[in-house]
Amino acid sequence: MSFGKAFLSSCLGALTAMVVFFLLTFLFFTALVAGLSDDKQVVVEDNSVLHLELDAQVTELEVDDPLAGLPFPGQQKRIGLIQLKQAIDDARQNDNIEGVYVEIRQPLTGFSSLEEIRRSLLDFRESGKWVVAYSEVMTEGAYYLASAADEVYLHPEGEMEFNGLSVSIGFYKKLLDKLEIKPQVFRVGEFKSAVEPFLLEELSKENRLQLTEMVNGIYDNILDNVAESRGIDRTRLEEISDQMLVRNADDALELKLVDGLLYQDEFHNVIREKLSIPEDEDIRFVKYKDYRKSFSTYKRSPNEVAVIVAEGTIVQGEGSQSDLEITAEKYVKEIRKARKNDNVKAIVLRVNSPGGAYTTSDMIWREVKLAAAEKPVIASMSDYAASGGYYIAMACDTIVAQPNTITGSIGIFGVMFDMSSFLGNKLGVTFDEVRTGDFGDLYTVTRPLTPAERNIIQRNLEKYYDSFTAKAAEGRSVSQEQILRVASGRVWTGQQALEHKLVDVLGGIDDAIRIAAEKANIADDYKVRYYPAPTTFIEQLMKGLETSARAGLVRQYVGDLYPMFERVRQVKQYEGIQARMPFEFEFH
């Protein structure tokens, strides 16, 4: 009987595997054929409207995905900020595009990226063309972007969030206590609070201070820009937000945050009026994905500005091969190639990173410094360029940041986890050792560190901090004492960083490219190319299958403990010397 059950189970398992394999194969080739057929250039007819659906994860560069739109679970729509800006700019110059329709509910990006898109929409409007925005629901970020439009419309029964920002930070202390994992923390600077989630259950006084100033700084910029776009007094706008006077769509209309409450068919009639077409005629909407295929950004020039996009966490070694990770192997090579290429007259380092591994940051900094000795190198900061993200940018000739960029956090920390109780009491695994000398196994998780070992690590951290601040002072052409006054791991907005001379110019990536071209004396004749080259679809697919297979094996092995395993794995990423932003958060 047991043999029969086992045999039947094996057969069913094999059959299931075959069905999944053939299903994946079918979907893959379907997507491949669809992708190939979609490669043909799109022709934009006259009297058309560019339709931007912006409820997506906005990353710096977009990766073409032939499987986009297929019913894969957990699939995340992504839009490249750079490609989106290129599309809006081309539409501005395209005589067949009459206007832009922005549809946005909840963009998955930071306020600096929204600032870049918003600026592109305002530039579009300056050409004399119109921008309209419509949605059933708008988050704070969605409304901030929509407020750049000539007219904003909301569904009659819709909702709009306009009640200020908050920052929420998760703390792991109780989790670690339950797991009997003891964090052994080392840091320099009272504001280097990245380790607080392991030690506390709430914000420290210093962390609360810097977060309060940071979130108020960001929101002040938002209120200033919305007040200007909507023609509402700044003080009145702040009152509306602080008292949450917008609680439904009628409130939004009465307070003049929107221009009308319309159902979608009524909103389409507004667009028809702008196009001067009858109500029964179809509107020629051109979706962003299709519009990208209607134009080319290729330009012939002997002069190149190389834009090297560094996005994601800075990691040691090869990382996970994700396009949202920064490794020394990849970025040192890209910067070196740009430095040695005679056609590349200037480099823009586009940074969107909360930091990460200290040594990796230093390796990239070194290559940036070498490049800056030979040709102009300009840093362009996106949503984040903090700690290690600031480190890799500080050797650039000029640093450009958005007012809402989160930067600074000049400081480092280290965490080593004593997992002896977790391993012994939870898993039943104990360790013993023999060693040479007193420090033969300094970096271990199987026992707590001795006072002498802790002293060695702390002194090393202080040495690294001194090196970090000295290099920052050199890059910014100020004294180390001046850097120390704004360091200690404290984060700043781009506006605050400008006041403290941590950045040079407020602006976006277009400003950084313009400055690079001017410094290289090629402002009248140059082309722009972006690096590193995006991974191909096949590479993405294979990485995805490999990751899914590995997760499946781990889940099968640990069973119900898998969520706990994932938590521990995430915490383990903080081990070692880190130049990382002191928190990971989302704006609400």
Q: DSSP characters for 139-167?
A: -HHHHHHHTTSSEEEEEEEEEE--S---E
Q: Is 361 a catalytic residue?
A: no
Eight-class DSSP state of 193: G
Residues 6 or more apart in contact with residue 129 via CB below 8 angstroms: 92, 97, 98, 99, 100
* Burial (Cβ within 10 Å: 0-12, 13-18, ≥19) of residue 299: exposed
Q: Is 9 a catalytic residue?
A: no
| d(C-alpha 185, C-alpha 457), whole Å | 10
Q: Which of 466, 352, 334, 347 is nearest to 397 (CA)?
A: 347
The phi and psi torsions of 528 (rounded to 5 degrees) equal -120, 130
Query: What count of other Cβ atoms lies within 10 Å of the Cβ of residue 360?
Result: 26
Structure tokens at 240: 């509306």
| d(C-alpha 127, C-alpha 349), whole Å | 30
Active-site entry in 182, 192, 274, 471: 192
| d(C-alpha 258, C-alpha 250), whole Å | 10
First to last CA, the chain: 58
Query: What count of other Cβ atoms lies within 10 Å of the Cβ of residue 357?
Result: 24
Cis previous bond, 376, omega within 30: no
Active-site entry in 387, 409, 420, 488: 387
Q: Which residues are catalytic?
A: 192, 387
